[in-house]
Each structure stands twice: as C-alpha cells, then as structure tokens.
Amino acid sequence: MSAGRVVMCTGAAQGIGRAMLNAFAVQGARLALLDIDAAGLATAQKELQRDYPHIETFCVTASVADDVQVAQAFDAVRAHYGRLDVLLNNAGISMNRPSLELSPADWRRAIDIDLSGVFYCCQQAGRLMQASGGGVIINTASMYGVVAAPERAAYCAAKAGVVALSKSLAVEWAESGIRVNALCPGYIRTALVDSLIERGALDAQRISARTPMGRLGTPEDVVAVACFLASDAAAFVTGHAMLADGGWTANGYM
C-alpha cells in the first residue's frame, strides 16, 4: 500500500497516467501531477479532489523534454512535500511514420519526449530518493521497446532505450535503495488509441485477433502492474521490463 507516500506521475492529465493516479489515490498516497497540458492538469486535480477528498494533490506544468523545466518541477515537488517516494514516469507520445518519410524533427521529438524526458525525470527523482533513503521509479516503455514493428522506427528506438535505461539505473542505484523497472504496455484503450481507431489508423478487430487474450488492454490492466511494482510485494524486483500486452509479444504465430 502507498498510504502517505508521495507519488509523482508525469503525463498525468489523461490516459494511463490519469488512471494510475486514481489507483494510488485509493491507497491514500499524496500525489504530484506533472503534465505540459495546464488545463488538463487542472481538470484532473479537480476530479481527484472531488472523488478522493482525503488525499493531497499538487500540480506542476512542465515539458519533460525540457531539462530545465523538469528540474524546476522536481524542485517544486521537493519544496511542497519534502520527499519523493514513487515516480510514475509515464509521459510520452506515439510516432508512426514510414521510415523513409520520417523527418529529422519528428525523430528528435520522439527521442526528446519518449527517451530524454524519461532520463531527465529519472535523474531528478534519483537525486531526491537517494537523499531520503530510497524509492521506486516505474518507467512506462512499451511492448515495442521489446519487439519491433514497421513504421515505428523512432518510437521503437526510444522505447527500447527506456528499457535499457531502466536496467542501467536499476543496477547503478540499487545500493541507494532505489528500484527502477520498465512497464511495457501493449495496445491499451486510451482516448489516443480510440481516436486512431476512429480515424482508421488502427484496426481494433485485427489487433484483438492478433492478441492471444482476444482484446485490447484497459488502463486498469496497466495500473495493476504499476501498483504491484510500486509495492513492497515487489521489493526484490528491479531492472525488469514487465509486459502487459495480453500475450502479443509471446505470439509468433500471426
């Protein structure tokens, strides 16, 4: 359980990040929300205060791709709460382009947000956690950080980097009591995925048929894994890339 612990989530305004906050609010955590979307953050905070009036929330607006903004955001969390126990390093974007058409700007954007942003937040969290005797970092990667797919060169490269980064930091920071793991979701029914399905960019039926469990995941499927990794039940789990993909990456048949 996370009662009283300070839990910070990036990409907190919607999707998986928003669902994670609900789960940790139920457990009684003190929450820090970070997102580039100030309006979305305000809405998320208002809803959390309405649904969980017993918990404390604190918001910071920042781009994870900007190391200065990230440092300022973590300084603000430290000033407000005095510590950080769990980082849900969740902010990210998709990038689906044919590789021969992928612009340098799109490549840099994917790497800046999906990989560099994860490192900036890990570094700041690591400094806070080391000072207070330990903590937990959960980096949201993807099943496409473990296996590859066409037309996702930048995304796969960034997410594979997140997996390797998580393992490296886990080894380096274990002696400081900091556990670092990568959470690797498959196709999850978020608002973003729903919009891609509506536009015909993703085929939900085909994805479900390709997935051994026969469906897309829900944010709650991912949240359950995050709660386990953050808990004392996972006290000996670090440097791990945990898949929540319904068996997608295990299935070599289709």
Residues marked active site are found at 155
Exposure string of 115-143, with b = 16+ CB inside 10 Å and e = fewer, is: bbbbbbbbebbbebbeeeeebbbbbbbbb
Residue identified by tokens 């937990």 is 136
Question: What is the spatial distance between Cα 234 and Cα 203, in angstroms, rounded to a whole number?
Answer: 35
**SS3 label, residue 154:** helix
Q: Find out whether 86 and 135 touch, Cβ atoms under 8 Å.
A: yes
Determine the number of helices (DSSP H) and then strands (DSSP E) in the chain. 9, 7
